[in-house]
Amino acid sequence: MKKSMLSYHHFKKIFKNQFRVILLLMFFAFLIEMLIAIILSTSVMRSYIESYFSMMPPAFKQFTGLMGQNFVGSQFIAFGYGHPAILFILIFIPVSIASRYITAEIENRSIEILAVRLNPRYRLILTQYFFIVFVVFLIFLAMFLGSISGKYLTSLSSEINEILILKIMGIGFLFFSAVGAIVTFIATLFNEKSLSFSWNIGLILFLFVYDALIRLWDQAHFLKPYSLFNWYQPVAIATKNYTFGTGIPLLTGLILLFVLLAIYNFNKRDL
């Protein structure tokens, strides 16, 4: 009987180990998006936020993408999907899972048993990677439910557009799936969990700082298309400034490229 590309048993084992953490992260993401909707619905808070952002220097508005009028409406809801706390959650997931279930297994030598059990080897990489994708989907689902809950608890029926949120979720899902593929590939390069974790975090920080610099420095704006974080800009989607025709193929290509590189490197390495 031909084996499937994924190992259900291994997937179930990882899910069981991470179940409480996943629930906690989902709950946190749900609360953030619901709180943003509630804040936006409060007239006093809305006026405060509007006046606060109006006083911000152009460079800050340019960095956040909150430009133009009515940015505290749909744009502010979109900003919630790129909130630093949300970015931390969605980046923490792939980095921690890749380091824990690939590099740490190599470091502890338990990878040899897993590789035999899950033979061919690529099943281990694909199972771990699709678990990352699955958790990213759950986090975005929790965020969506948070926004919708905030909509029905408040009077924001005209400002929380489900279609807009679904567009942001779709791009976000592709973006963090691409991040997951990149960190999975990096995890196959090392024999120590600490090294894998450090390199992945270092790369993400570098890419984030690089993106921030080219947004704040006018002379470097031409480099924006070459920044990974440029392709997850929820506010740009809300203001119709996102190029879906480039973003979707690019992120899909990154996913395929780095998943294949991870499989290739893991198959040829000596465990």
The tens digit of pLDDT for each residue in 143-198 reads 999 999 888 887 665 667 889 999 999 999 999 999 999 999 999 998 888 888 89
Structural domain includes residue 38: yes
Q: Across residues 127-144, what is the average pLDDT?
A: 96
Among the listed ranges 48-62, 190-204, 230-244, which one has the minimum average pLDDT value?
48-62
* CA atoms of 120 and 113, how far apart (whole Å): 12
pTM score of the predicted model: 0.86
Q: How far is CA 258 from the centre of its chain?
A: 16
Structural domain includes residue 189: yes
Collapsed DSSP state (helix, strand, coil) of residue 31: helix
Structural domain includes residue 243: yes
* Confidence at 253, pLDDT banded by 50, 70, 90: very high
* Confidence at 45, pLDDT banded by 50, 70, 90: low
* CA atoms of 58 and 68, how far apart (whole Å): 11
Among the listed ranges 52-61, 123-132, 204-213, which one has the minimum average pLDDT value?
52-61
- Sign of the CA dihedral 151, 156, 162, 165? negative
Domain that holds residue 148: 8-268
Q: Across residues 264-271, what is the average pLDDT?
A: 78
Nearest to 178 by CA among 228, 213, 107: 228
Single-letter code of the amino acid located at 254: L
Residue 69 phi, psi (nearest 5):
-85, 160
**The two three-digit tokens of residue 93, written as one number:** 């997931």
Could you give the percent of the chain with pLDDT greater than 90?
43
Query: Could you identify the residue written with the tokens 């190992």?
Result: 7
For the chain, how many structural domains are there in total?
1
Single-letter code of the amino acid located at 22: I
In terms of C-beta density within 10 A (0-12 exposed, 13-18 middle, 19 or more buried), how is residue 235 classed? buried
Confirm if 89 and 139 have CB atoms less than 8 A apart: yes
Confirm if 222 and 148 have CB atoms less than 8 A apart: no
* CA atoms of 214 and 152, how far apart (whole Å): 38
Average pLDDT, the chain: 83
Structural domain includes residue 2: no
Residue 55 has pLDDT above 80, yes or no: no
- Cβ-count burial 41-68 (b if 16+ within 10 Å, e if not): beeeeeeebeeebeeeeeeeeeebbbee
Residue 111 has pLDDT above 90, yes or no: no
Structural domain includes residue 1: no
Nearest to 94 by CA among 9, 183, 23, 154: 183
Structural domain includes residue 3: no
Tell me the chain's radius of gyration from C-alpha atoms.
Answer: 20
* Confidence at 1, pLDDT banded by 50, 70, 90: very low
Structural domain includes residue 112: yes
Residue 46 has pLDDT above 70, yes or no: no
Q: Across residues 9-36, what is the average pLDDT?
A: 92
